[in-house]
Amino acid sequence: MENLMTVPEKPYVDENLNKKEPMLKLASRMAKANMLRAVKDRKGNVGLFTVIKKIEEGPEGPVVTQRLIFDQRRDNAYWKRPPWTGLASPSAISMIDISEEWNEDVEFVVASGDLPNYYYTIELPEWIAEWLCLPIISVAELTT
């Protein structure tokens, strides 16, 4: 309960999405991309907003690409805090010691990149989907 005191009362939903018609339009696109599943019990709601990812010049003017952001701060407060872990960084990579495994057959490769659809394609357990529901609309509204 202490965690709930430090988070917003409701997830943030962009004012442009906080109406039935635009939310249904977004949900329809998400459903076509297999990003949604129906649940029987709604235990939580995600907030939704976008940030600008890039702006490119198109034949008819600027083309703005946006990234969809899910606000899960409120419902995340119900979960136990995970243990701390250090994230990858140049200094962390420089401390990797493979001297005992190193030979002419070993190839050490470091790469980085963005997996643009990683969080949309991992499969969540059925029970956790009840915490990741879209606000404002129901399954019945989406399927009609």
pLDDT tens sequence across 49-80:
999 999 999 999 999 999 899 999 988 888 88
Beta bridge partners of 45: 133
CA distance 50 to 26: 12
- 81 falls in which pLDDT band (50, 70, 90)? confident
**Whole-number pLDDT of residue 120:** 64
Query: Distance between alpha carbon 84 and the CA centroid of its chain, in Å?
Result: 20
Query: For 7-15, what is the mean pLDDT?
Result: 90
Segments making up each domain of the chain, as ranges: 1-80+127-144
CA distance 144 to 85: 45
Residue 35 CA neighbour count, 13 Å, CB half: 16
